Structure 1
Amino acid sequence: MNSSETVAYRNELVREVFGSLSIDKSRLPSSGLTGTGVPSFVGEWLLDKIVPGTGSLTSEELEKVNSFVQKAFPRKDDKEEIIFYLTQDAFYKLIALMQVRVKVEQKTGEIPEPLARIPVLNLEECSISPDLVQKNLMLLRQGLWGKISLTMRPDGQIEVVGFEPFQCSAIDLKAYAECRAQFSTDEWRDLMFCSMGFNPQHPSYSREAKTWVLARLLPLVEPNYHIMELAPKGTGKSFVFENISNKVKLISGGKITPARLLIDGRTKEIGLIGRHDVVVLDEVQSLTFDNPEEVIGPLKTYMASGRYNRSGFADISSDCSLVMLANIELDEQQRPKNEDNLIANLPKFFNETAFLDRFAGIIPGWQIPKFQRDMTAYQTGLKMDFFGEALLALRQDSRFIQYAQQNTHFDSHVTVRDQNAILKSAAGFLKILYPHLKLTVMDYQRDCLEPAMQLRQAIRNVLYHLDDEFRQTEREIYAEIAF
């Protein structure tokens, strides 16, 4: 039975409990902001500032938003016009993503100054005061979206003289848990689902389908958690990763260089894995490397230990989670055509079992319905910036893995790697569904342990198919709650 058939969505309760941290999810799709390339966590923040309210935007509100976008959001071809404006002794304010780096020159005897980068305008070396950077240290990692104030110095260098970040500040996890306690499990599941941007009351979303959509959040709540999703086109695999947080980086197909992913041996700049909490490789069926082993070798080391090195540099530690998304073909029964070997159509390096074994699981995307317009959330959910930060804030809370360890019993034949993968997935589901940790062991079995086992079983099945070594023990993974 669909959960949407049994649970009424309580918009009033969401607004009562979360107040200004909630938003009517119909606002953003009706605003046109998503068509400008603005991620949801920025768009929802802006709408609440410019045109707060509920329901689809009125014509007057749309006009106000459009006017704001035209003034505040630059296009790449606006660069020269903005530079000219700055030469006329004027300030210029815009809304964009900004990143900062410190360019260290050897043996100059001078302390280097930070330099700001605004990708949308292709501005690479803007001056910025250390004080501004100190107040917004995330600029030095993946960068921040915000309101940027520019001017031009007498020497012609563009300078950032003001910055107001949009993203949510520190999360109070105790208060978040207290909020969770005011919802039933089904109500909370639907709130999480709605906050992701999906309609929890759509009849096509069964409880099982919702579980696999929510599984996309596991890499956010669990550090060093690596997972795949295999699905036909059109199930919305990448949607949440594109829109939930700037700490999540999505890369779509094509060629990936070790310099971009790991570390640039020439500039010594740390790659994406060292700067983001989650890195998502989309369309991996078309992923290529000039020298696969130069990437896969360090990745195997990193996925096992949380550390990697390249080009003679010292080990780099990170808790970044890796996500691989790929399209697969289904048969007439809407099952994978290669069910015994789900990775049959992926690049050859996936056939290396030592690499594959390091993934916690495979999300069965074929059990998620293809996304249609009426599957977009229209209820009241959590603002995307708050939602993303709350999930990411749970990464370092060790109580959930301890709960999973204490309440899970494995058969003796289950490998340590299988056990660790299942425990991390189960702990992740706990963080998503039970952040207050108030549940029965039967709740844990149904909502956390069983889906965690299914995720890992999919990996186990492929390993069993590919390598005789994995046929030395039983194919099925057995685990149960510990009484």
Structure 2
Amino acid sequence: MTLDSVTEPGVDAPEGAVMEGPPAKTDLDRKINRFFAGSVVRKDLVKAVKGNAIVPSYVLEYLLGQYAASDDEATIQAGIEAVRKILADHYVQRNQAELVKSTIKERGRHRVIDKVTVTLNEKDDVYQAEFANLGIKGVLVESATIKAHPKLLVGGVWCICDVEYFHTDDARSVPWILGSLKPIQMSSFDFDGYLAGRREFTTDEWIDLLIQSIGFNPDMFGRRAKLIQLVRLIPFVERNYNLVELGPKGTGKSHIFSEFSPHGMLISGGEVTVPKLFINNANGRLGLVGYWDVVAFDEFAGKKKRTDKSLVDIMKNYMANKSFSRGTSVEGAEASMVFVGNTSHTVPYMLKHSDLFDELPESYHDSAYLDRLHHYIPGWEVDTIRSEMFSNGYGFVVDYIAEVLKSMRNSDHSDRYQQHFTLGSDISTRDRDGIHKTFSGLMKLLFPHEEATQEEIAEVLRLAIEGRKRVKDQILRIDSTMADVKFGYSDTAGVWHAVSTLEEDEYPAYYHRRHAGAGDNSASDEQGEPSSNNTVVEEPPAVAPPVAQTLFEGHREFQENQRGVSYDTILLPYLLGSGEITIVDPYIRLPHQGRNLVDLLALLAAAKDPADEIAVTLVTKEDTGEFHRQHLLMLKEIQDGAATVGINFSVTWDESIHDRSIRADNGWKILLGRGLDIFQKGSGSQYDLGARRQEFRQVVAFGVSYFRSGTEPE
């Protein structure tokens, strides 16, 4: 069928459909249930049972794991009803606390789900519990319970408790009696079974399973975006790991640390004190780092925030040496430290005017403190969380995977790359430690069975190096006494592989400047030219538009999440002056693919003389399925619109094509790994700047090669 024969009005193919009833199980979901039966749950069920309960997800998933860890729909529905009934009967809503207390009094005994915190009453030499929602205090707790669950003393733990009531005439006596207490977390699991199950999954499948386990739909993330999400889990699997993530609001930075694991504690950065975090000199009681695997500081950024200098000093020592001292004693701990905060400026703004730690309070904007950080997650690469990003597939029950990760904290996988690669010789000990800990954590997450290919090991190593390089490069801008470091690794053949950060590739002119106040004079002049003291950029900017007389010839790679890429810079310069252009792309079918094609045609039309005409031929495959008519209608509309601006657009069907390319009669041929479909899906909002300008959008990983006529490979 030709486009000219398409005359009926049609409706665009839907880019997504609203599903009624239970979601259809994917092949991955079936595989997950086959090898991890009883340890996984459908991730959308949490929302189904949560209602108005202000309770962490891991508490709800603990209950769902007891009653709804199945792929049988009838069992799931029965489990949901059971969990709802348990929450209705036993979860304590704060506005119903008096009713629950009345129930306990009248019945004499009642089971509640609440957050319990215990303190030691030194005067009476007893432990006393406080129930957060129920609002009762002074409940006696036996010493054996505290020995079994010491976290009750620090921060509190969500528990299922039997509370009794017995009133006496003694005014000092508390009528509430703790009958039993059970923290909401697993007591045991089969680690060998976990490893056996891992062996049944490919690396891609396993990554998607982990992404679904933290509640996200893996189809909405590229490979790099998935790995960035998984870096957030490293503090749970690696002891004494120091992680920072700064980025825009709404990207889910603190979600993992508040909802994912019963072994993590999220606290506000403004609520931290030395006694609360480390040790109380008055009574000798250890603080949070002595009891929790992960201590995360929310809202850590803020230049004007007041900070305790003594806290910063103790924290620096702990982050470097895993120990702290107060008074005469030296204590050790294994808690990982995580710092998350919001940025208020764009990456190029921060690079031009200060550094990527610009938002931190002054006391933390210190090279000695920053040098203790093992990895910097680029929060600006993480997409704003949207409803369609949440998963309705199957993932590990949270307390199950939390126990698995905790069990691996004692193992060390940091040397698993050394049979294939060697780190650069001028990488310092502290840099090396940061790289090793990130590498070890990711290897435990992705390859707990220790069966990774050389290419997979290289991918993990590069990400680990990049995260530490991001830290070190910013320290170099702050402290001029620090020596430059060549970050990268050599393979067994002696080939050097340099590692760069994504923002370094995007903004090289700003990235390699030293801070004007760092004690040197390497900041740029008023015209924006870097001084001769700056690090030399060996390659041209990845997205800089080629000059007409010296167009680049060869291959370029673009990283996932990179911004600043547009057809205007990577395609248009090679097509200028052409009268005939052939675009070969088998997949111009969906609405967003059609819009990509229109974007390129609009650039061609704007760049040519209005009196000239250009012939553009699209060689593609015809959609013969459900959306055949919509496909033809879309291309017909493109043809009609292009004709009004002097572009004669035509389509040739070819079912044998696979590779994507653009050939122009000016002598240039462009090989496109992904064709025109290089951009990630945006928010869909009409107010999204990325919908108006391509350079504001993030790309997927892709490559592009440029050849002059007669020089392309066979």
Band of TM-score, shorter chain? 0.7 to 0.9
- Equivalent residue for 1:381? 395
- Equivalent residue for 2:488? 478
State whether residues 453 and 477 of structure 1, in contact with CA within 8 Å, keep that contact through their aligned partners in structure 2.
yes
State whether residues 300 and 358 of structure 1, in contact with CA within 8 Å, keep that contact through their aligned partners in structure 2.
yes
**Deviation readout 1:314-353 (Å, 9 max, x if unpaired):** 222111001111112454xxx4531361011221122210
Matched positions, count: 460
Distance change in 2, residues 1:145/1:17 (3 Å): same
Distance change in 2, residues 1:275/1:37 (3 Å): same
The letter of the residue matching 1:328 is: T
SS in 2 for 1:350: coil
CA distance in 1 between counterparts of 2:89 and 2:333 reads 39
Q: Does 2:479 match 1:461?
A: no
**Deviation readout 1:77-106 (Å, 9 max, x if unpaired):** 44444444444461121012224444445x
SS in 2 for 1:12: helix
- Equivalent residue for 2:59? 42
Distance change in 2, residues 1:168/1:60 (3 Å): closer
Q: Quick one: which of 426, 430, 441 aligns to 1:413? A: 426
Distance change in 2, residues 1:52/1:13 (3 Å): closer
> How many angstroms does 1:188 deviate by?
0.3
> How many angstroms does 1:165 deviate by?
3.3
**Deviation readout 1:283-316 (Å, 9 max, x if unpaired):** 1114877552111000001001111123x15222
CA distance in 1 between counterparts of 2:190 and 2:283 reads 38
Distance change in 2, residues 1:88/1:161 (3 Å): same
> How many angstroms does 1:442 deviate by?
2.4
**Among the aligned pairs, what percent are the same residue?**
26
- Equivalent residue for 2:161? 148
- Equivalent residue for 2:111? 93
Please say which of residues 364-373 and 401-410 is displaced more in the overlay: 401-410
- Equivalent residue for 1:257? 273
Q: Quick one: which of 144, 150, 175 aligns to 2:193? A: 175
Distance change in 2, residues 1:132/1:324 (3 Å): closer
Distance change in 2, residues 1:123/1:316 (3 Å): farther
- Equivalent residue for 1:16? 34
**Deviation readout 1:368-392 (Å, 9 max, x if unpaired):** 2111101001111111111111112
State whether residues 476 and 484 of structure 2, in contact with CA within 8 Å, keep that contact through their aligned partners in structure 1.
no
> How many angstroms does 1:140 deviate by?
4.9
> How many angstroms does 1:179 deviate by?
1.3
Distance change in 2, residues 1:188/1:275 (3 Å): same
Distance change in 2, residues 1:29/1:481 (3 Å): farther
Distance change in 2, residues 1:435/1:64 (3 Å): closer
State whether residues 306 and 317 of structure 1, in contact with CA within 8 Å, keep that contact through their aligned partners in structure 2.
yes
The letter of the residue matching 2:56 is: P
Distance change in 2, residues 1:432/1:9 (3 Å): farther
CA distance in 1 between counterparts of 2:137 and 2:284 reads 17
Q: Quick one: which of 423, 428, 436 aligns to 1:423? A: 436
**Deviation readout 1:136-173 (Å, 9 max, x if unpaired):** 45545555433200113444342211123331123433
SS in 2 for 1:241: helix
Q: Report which structure shows greater RCO (CA 8 Å, sep ≥6).
A: 1
State whether residues 146 and 163 of structure 1, in contact with CA within 8 Å, keep that contact through their aligned partners in structure 2.
yes
State whether residues 256 and 289 of structure 1, in contact with CA within 8 Å, keep that contact through their aligned partners in structure 2.
no
SS in 2 for 1:123: coil
Distance change in 2, residues 1:468/1:131 (3 Å): closer
CA distance in 1 between counterparts of 2:214 and 2:81 reads 27
SS in 2 for 1:120: coil
State whether residues 114 and 129 of structure 1, in contact with CA within 8 Å, keep that contact through their aligned partners in structure 2.
yes
Q: Does 2:480 match 1:435?
A: no
The letter of the residue matching 1:430 is: M
**Deviation readout 1:165-223 (Å, 9 max, x if unpaired):** 33112343332222111100000011011101111012xx1101111111101111110
Please say which of residues 168-177 and 135-144 is displaced more in the overlay: 135-144
The letter of the residue matching 1:190 is: D
Q: Does 2:253 match 1:240?
A: no
Q: Does 2:380 match 1:370?
A: no
Q: Does 2:286 match 1:270?
A: yes
- Equivalent residue for 1:4? none
> How many angstroms does 1:253 deviate by?
4.0
Flag structure 1 segments of 5+ consecutive residues without an equivalent.
1-7
CA distance in 1 between counterparts of 2:87 and 2:376 reads 40
Distance change in 2, residues 1:443/1:314 (3 Å): same
Structure label with greater radius of gyration: 2
CA distance in 2 between counterparts of 1:293 and 1:383 reads 41
CA distance in 2 between counterparts of 1:344 and 1:137 reads 38
The letter of the residue matching 1:477 is: F
- Equivalent residue for 2:550? none
State whether residues 264 and 293 of structure 2, in contact with CA within 8 Å, keep that contact through their aligned partners in structure 1.
yes
CA distance in 2 between counterparts of 1:64 and 1:151 reads 24
The letter of the residue matching 1:359 is: L
CA distance in 1 between counterparts of 2:330 and 2:95 reads 40
**Deviation readout 1:39-74 (Å, 9 max, x if unpaired):** 111111223445665579999987765543232111
CA distance in 1 between counterparts of 2:150 and 2:287 reads 17
The letter of the residue matching 1:148 is: C
Q: Does 2:168 match 1:158?
A: no
The letter of the residue matching 2:90 is: A
SS in 1 for 2:470: helix
- Equivalent residue for 2:654? none
Distance change in 2, residues 1:116/1:308 (3 Å): same
State whether residues 360 and 421 of structure 1, in contact with CA within 8 Å, keep that contact through their aligned partners in structure 2.
yes
Distance change in 2, residues 1:287/1:76 (3 Å): farther
SS in 1 for 2:349: coil
Please state which structure has a larger fraction of its residues in helix. Answer: 1
Q: Quick one: which of 45, 55, 73 aligns to 1:27? A: 45
Q: Does 2:217 match 1:206?
A: no
SS in 2 for 1:366: helix
- Equivalent residue for 1:318? 333
Flag structure 2 segments of 5+ consecutive residues without an equivalent.
1-25, 494-714
Distance change in 2, residues 1:433/1:163 (3 Å): same
Distance change in 2, residues 1:81/1:450 (3 Å): same
- Equivalent residue for 2:461? 449
Distance change in 2, residues 1:57/1:336 (3 Å): farther
CA distance in 2 between counterparts of 1:51 and 1:172 reads 20
State whether residues 266 and 296 of structure 2, in contact with CA within 8 Å, keep that contact through their aligned partners in structure 1.
yes
Q: Quick one: which of 116, 125, 129 aligns to 2:138? A: 125
Distance change in 2, residues 1:233/1:350 (3 Å): same
CA distance in 1 between counterparts of 2:133 and 2:438 reads 37
Distance change in 2, residues 1:137/1:407 (3 Å): farther
> How many angstroms does 1:231 deviate by?
1.4
Distance change in 2, residues 1:101/1:91 (3 Å): same
The letter of the residue matching 1:180 is: R
> How many angstroms does 1:406 deviate by?
5.6
CA distance in 1 between counterparts of 2:470 and 2:226 reads 18
CA distance in 2 between counterparts of 1:411 and 1:116 reads 54
